[in-house]
Amino acid sequence: MSKRQKPISPELAAYGAEQLRQRMLAVFVEMVGTRQGEDIEYLHRLRVASRRLRAALSLFGEAISPEDARRWTREVRSLTRALGPARDTDVQIDVVRDNLARQEDPALRRGVRRLLLRLSQRRDHLQDCVVSGLERFERSGVIEQMNKKLSRVPASKPPYPPELYSLAREAILHRLTGFLSYAEFVPQPDRAEELHTMRIAAKRLRYTLENFLPLLDGAVEPHLKAAKQAQEALGAIHDCDVWLAGLPAFLEEERERTRLYFGHTGPFRRISSGVLAFQADREQERQRHYNRFVGKWQGWQQAGFWESLPAALAAAAESPPGSPLAKTKTSPDGAAPAAES
């Protein structure tokens, strides 16, 4: 999106400051638990909170302090990246543990246990990276600086100015266009990279919608729920793709470890069959997730669901928060009624 050239009204600044406050507080709350590393959900929530804060900064940072916002964004992005490998490994460990619990063949369990061992070792190492990222973010002073800046901005309350509705429409439709630009790849299951990028576009649309929910008074909640569904479905497909891309390399590494330890690769067969069985399970799981997503997508397309978003935005702009809005023909969960079973 291009930067706004018109003067920023106090009302827009107040609304943006409120969104930034909420997301800044969410980051602060999760930092202590993440540092301790005893519950992986703290790390997950902090990573999500940092992404939401970045999304809010991209929308409202200019209204608070353009120069500071650019630096805050860089620091928050660095925090998000520091958390990523550890969170991804946590997710993989959960998947392997679930597979191990379902695997009844002792011969196949050996390979899955080896995979779990290597992931657990990797996760132990990555906790140091998480703590280092947290310490760097704390030294940056972003939370203190944001709190100081935001405390000077008056509280936000309706009625909201027309420029805020214009900003919401511009930002949301920009993200919607990006998301829909990948529609041609939905029927192509082998386009892993494009489906992954579509997931990122769905996430950006979702976070942008979230930032304007108080303004739009529920008018876009079905679209927000659908964006979340798309993000999660495409994320599940991507998780399987990461496994399928990485497991061959894991097998080669374990083969080499075996050769170096024993002087030959004979014992490698004890774990390779289990890892190959796990790989087949990931292939089947990807197909299941892909089929479900395509079914959901077809329902949205048949209902003209995403095309209804501009009209929902227009209806919200014509009705102040708290007043009845024109009813749309979308179901509450963002899917076409006919597609529900």
On average, the pLDDT of the chain sits at 91
Q: What is the mean pLDDT of residues 37-58?
A: 95
pLDDT for the residue numbered 331: 45
- Per-residue pLDDT of 300-340, as tens digits, reads 999 999 999 999 999 998 875 544 443 443 444 444 333 33
- Per-residue pLDDT of 88-126, as tens digits, reads 999 999 999 999 999 999 999 999 999 999 999 999 999
The domain spans of the chain are 6-104+130-145, 162-322
Q: Which residue from 278, 274, 281 is spatially nearest to 111, judged by alpha carbons?
A: 274
Residue 170 pLDDT level (bands cut at 50, 70, 90): very high
Q: What is the distance between the alpha carbons of residues 266 and 255, in angstroms, rounded to a whole number? A: 9
CATH number corresponding to 6-104+130-145: 1.20.120
Q: What is the distance between the alpha carbons of residues 20 and 3, in angstroms, rounded to a whole number? A: 18
pLDDT for the residue numbered 271: 96
pLDDT for the residue numbered 330: 44
Residue with structure tokens 């997730």?
Answer: 289
pLDDT for the residue numbered 240: 98
| Superfamily name and number for 162-322 | CHAD domain (1.40.20.10)
Q: How far is CA 272 from the centre of its chain?
A: 33
- Per-residue pLDDT of 216-262, as tens digits, reads 988 999 999 999 999 999 999 999 999 999 999 999 999 999 999 99
Q: What is the distance between the alpha carbons of residues 120 and 298, in angstroms, rounded to a whole number? A: 39
On the question of pLDDT at 7 being above 70, the answer is no
- Per-residue pLDDT of 208-217, as tens digits, reads 999 999 999 8
Backbone phi and psi for residue 190, each to the nearest 5 degrees, phi listed first: -85, -5
pTM of structure = 0.89
Under a CB-based contact definition with an 8 Å cutoff, are residues 138 and 279 in contact? no
Q: What is the mean pLDDT of residues 25-46?
A: 91
pLDDT for the residue numbered 143: 96
- Per-residue pLDDT of 138-165, as tens digits, reads 999 999 999 999 999 988 888 888 999 9
pLDDT for the residue numbered 155: 86
Q: What is the distance between the alpha carbons of residues 205 and 198, in angstroms, rounded to a whole number? A: 10
Under a CB-based contact definition with an 8 Å cutoff, are residues 316 and 223 in contact? no
Residue with structure tokens 């246990």?
Answer: 113
Under a CB-based contact definition with an 8 Å cutoff, are residues 73 and 47 in contact? no
pLDDT for the residue numbered 332: 40
- Per-residue pLDDT of 191-208, as tens digits, reads 999 999 999 999 999 999
Q: Is the dihedral of CA 229, 51, 88, 197 positive or negative?
A: positive
